[in-house]
Amino acid sequence: MEKNEKELVIPENCLPVEYLIMGFTMYDILAIGICVVIGSVVALSVYHRTHNSMIAVAVIFAVAIVAITLWRRDRFTENIFNKI
């Protein structure tokens, strides 16, 4: 069997990623917070139109879940926006 001697490539000039919570940097948490605030405004407007608090709470949870899914970083420090 032949041994493939490939040189190990180490990326240079990359900024270190500091996670506040595993998978989320400060920027990611700020973006999720902004999405939740916008979702809360939308939920309040939905509540004022329908007078149904269950729909308003569902809107807030849906926005939060989508935001967390979009901004969570994987083991390669990429989120959905970076992959697209």
Q: What angle do CA 21, 71, 47 make, to 5 degrees?
A: 105
Q: Name the pTM for this structure.
A: 0.75
Q: How confident is the model at residue 7 (pLDDT cuts 50, 70, 90)?
A: confident
Instruction: Give alpha helix (H) positions in 1-84.
Output: 26-50, 53-71, 80-83
User: What's 20's DSSP letter?
Assistant: S
Q: Would you give the distance in Å from CA 31 to the centre of its chain?
A: 8
Q: How confident is the model at residue 81 (pLDDT cuts 50, 70, 90)?
A: confident
Taking all residues of the chain, what is their mean pLDDT, rounded to a whole number?
87
